Amino acid sequence: MQTLHVELGDRRYPIFIGSQLDPKTLLAPYIKGQQVMIVTNTTLEQLYLSHYVHDLESLGKKVATCVLPDGEKYKNLENLNLIFDALLEAGFNRDCTVLALGGGVIGDMAGFASACFQRGVYFIQVPTTLLSQVDSSVGGKTGINHPLGKNMIGAFKQPEVVMADMAQLRTLPARELSAGLAEVIKYALLGDLEFLAWLEQHMDGLLAGDESLLAQAVYRSCAHKARIVANDEKEQGERALLNLGHTFGHAIESYLGYGKWLHGEAVATGMVMAADLSQRMGWISAEDLQRTKNIIQRAKLPISCPKIPLDEFLSYMAHDKKVLNGQLRLVLLQQLGQAVITKEFDVEKMKQVILENQAE
Amino acid sequence: MQTLHVELGDRRYPIFIGSQLDPKTLLAPYIKGQQVMIVTNTTLEQLYLSHYVHDLESLGKKVATCVLPDGEKYKNLENLNLIFDALLEAGFNRDCTVLALGGGVIGDMAGFASACFQRGVYFIQVPTTLLSQVDSSVGGKTGINHPLGKNMIGAFKQPEVVMADMAQLRTLPARELSAGLAEVIKYALLGDLEFLAWLEQHMDGLLAGDESLLAQAVYRSCAHKARIVANDEKEQGERALLNLGHTFGHAIESYLGYGKWLHGEAVATGMVMAADLSQRMGWISAEDLQRTKNIIQRAKLPISCPKIPLDEFLSYMAHDKKVLNGQLRLVLLQQLGQAVITKEFDVEKMKQVILENQAE
């Protein structure tokens, strides 16, 4: 097991990364009160819930559970309210802990609920997908979707501890493993060319579920994100780089309707679009663009999106949270392995990129 | 006009207190972006909204409005979502400002919406009731009610600026002015015996709407609260003293259903109950208790509550946010003018207090 510390002053917290980790031993020191609400989904309920309930009860905790439907389309106000209902029906107080046992959707919703319930209670994350292990474990972004935009309502909420267990990835569908690899590839593209080479070398092992390789990829991704977040917790500057591929990707997700494409799949195609625009602006070479497409394809991820009318695509992009004073900003690649956020891009070239990266 | 600064480090902000204040001049420096969403209710819409829209538009801002139904019973998730709908339909971004034009309900909802929209945008408060001027102006507590408890879902969100205009109290119903005086009296009872004497001297003028006296009462109340909040923003300790009368009061409000009694009315009776228990525990004298009842009655506020079954009253009290590890804590009067938070109270005496302060 490796331990990574996210350095956020008095909200510093550890991420435990390994295989077959023991929640009882690792989480106990981080549960402050006597009450724990485990938030999970119907799929994970069958796989892990009774095990966690048993472990925490054996620590003398009062454990309640809230099981939500599985999927991004349920990441809304209505289901968030089910967590509040469960907390209040259990009679839980300000010293309770909300434990998210699940992927990004569960982490985002449980985290947001913990930020709002009684204006803030304790939060623990056990991310069970590769995507949530490399993305949601660090940074404290929580929230829900709105019919007019993704993640439009939320809070910054740091957990007390995160436990990322590679053994839980054994039950993860292959498509979701690939979606997680999209975010892993993102860290390489935006800031670590050496990591890109490592991924090119080990992609087959990662896809085969080698837990030692996966743990290394998770550690390296989290370490990257932790460094960036420690510098810029509230996304005033550098943190926006983590949105490489996301402005295009969110537009794809919003148009298709949440849940049709996985978030990682949309980000994968979004990164191809960002790289393509960077190439058209003369920042990266055609070879760099091809290398970007190759690693994404090798991870079994899409490099083009379905047909989307240009005006609708642009309209969804305009809802992006990086819009400042009405002006869209994009994360592009200055070089391969070095991202920048900029409003100085060519809008016509951006439109070409959108049109020319759509599948027939 | 007087200016009071709430000292919260880099979230320091001013409260302007006076009569016939100019929003255009006073608020302009605190509106960071170009978009302003004014949140108000149907009553205030008719009195002030067009004036504010005009003033802000003349500053070159893009102004949108969200008009909510008037009343505490609308302080729920459903109406909160109307604010999110309005913000997204207007195409507002992360640099927008949410301006609350209204009393406590509007301030709490608009503030909470500003805390959550895009994980936090700017917030400005123009409190239009005495209660919100002395209570919601300071402290950053925002939120909504849940069927199982008041203010159970929310956030700490500090405004950029607060403007409290006594001229807006001219249209305030007498009953609501009295409800505001309940919180003014609270500051005297919990920490300022000299202020209690001042209130005893000026109660008639305050009830008559003397704007100079009202401004003084608002300034002194806000100054008290600001000092306490600066010491203890997240309510780990001293800030809990501000809940004098609130644990009893919330039980009354919850039982009756939100909106039957005004918050200030429930707090008034709650303060009588807290004083009564303090007297029964030998902390304050019978004369002190009588003095407490007198000033509350002179403000035309209730000193006893309707018949409520004891077990229901206690059950609502158990949902209080001051419950820690399952144990109820109460704010009581060590002396008149000096409150303490304690779990060392006599439960049987508390039950007597609840039963014996109910009207026939």
Q: What digits encode the pLDDT tens for the residues A165-217?
A: 999 999 999 999 999 999 999 999 999 999 999 999 999 999 999 999 999 99
Contact between A50 and B114 (Cβ < 8 Å): no
Report the 3 state secondary structure along A259-300.
CCCCHHHHHHHHHHHHHHHHHHCCCCCHHHHHHHHHHHHHCC
Task: Kindly tell me if the per-residue pLDDT of A325 is higher than 70.
Answer: no
DSSP 3-state assignment of A77? helix
pLDDT of residue B238: 84
Q: Give me chain A's average pLDDT, please.
A: 94
In this structure, the strands spanning B97-102 and B35-41 are: parallel
Residue where the block lists tokens 């609920």: A113
B122 membership: H or E segment, kind and range:
strand B122-127
Torsion sign across C-alpha atoms A255, A257, A261, A264:
positive
B311 membership: H or E segment, kind and range:
helix B310-318
pLDDT of residue B325: 67
Mean pLDDT in residue range A129-135: 94
pLDDT of residue A258: 65
A-B C-beta contacts closer than 8 Å: 99
Task: Kindly tell me if the per-residue pLDDT of A357 is higher than 90.
Answer: yes
Residues in chain B: 360
Residue of B nearest to A61 (CA): B325
Q: Which of B91, B322, B325 sits opposite A34 (nearest CB)?
A: B325
A interface toward B at CB cutoff 8 Å? 33-34, 77, 81, 84-85, 88-89, 91, 93-95, 115-120, 141, 143, 146, 148-149, 152-156, 234, 318-319, 321-326
Task: Kindly tell me if the per-residue pLDDT of A321 is higher than 80.
Answer: no
- DSSP 8-state secondary structure symbol assigned to residue B69: P
Inter-chain contact B152–A91, Cβ cutoff 8 Å?
no
Inter-chain contact A325–B153, Cβ cutoff 8 Å?
no
CATH of domain B1-167: 3.40.50.1970
Q: Quick check: ipTM above 0.90?
A: no
Residue where the block lists tokens 């092992």: A205
Count CB atoms within 10 A of the CB of residue B88.
Answer: 18
Contact between A291 and A336 (Cβ < 8 Å): yes
User: What's the average pLDDT block by block, 10 residues per block, for chain B (360 residues)?
Assistant: 90 95 96 96 95 97 97 93 97 96 96 98 98 91 91 96 97 96 97 97 97 97 92 78 93 84 94 98 97 98 95 88 76 95 93 92
Residues B225, B213: Cα–Cα separation, whole Å: 18
pLDDT of residue B359: 86
Question: Percent of chain A scored above 70 by pLDDT?
Answer: 97
Residue of A nearest to B319 (CA): A91
Domain segments of chain A as ranges: 1-167, 172-355
Does the domain made of A172-355 have the CATH classification 1.20.1090.10?
Answer: yes
CA of B157 vs chain A CAs: smallest distance (Å) = 10
Contact between A108 and A149 (Cβ < 8 Å): no
pLDDT of residue B258: 65
- What b-and-e string marks burial along B174-210, b requiring 16 or more CB atoms within 10 Å of the CB? eebbbbbbbbbbbbbbbbbeebbebbeebbeebbeee
B interface toward A at CB cutoff 8 Å? 33-34, 77, 81, 84-85, 88-89, 91, 93-95, 115-120, 141, 143, 146, 148-149, 152-156, 234, 318-319, 321-326
Q: Which residue did the predictor score with more confidence, A250 or B286?
A: B286
Contacts of B318 in chain A (CB under 8 A): 91
pTM value is 0.88
pLDDT of residue B41: 97
pLDDT of residue A324: 67
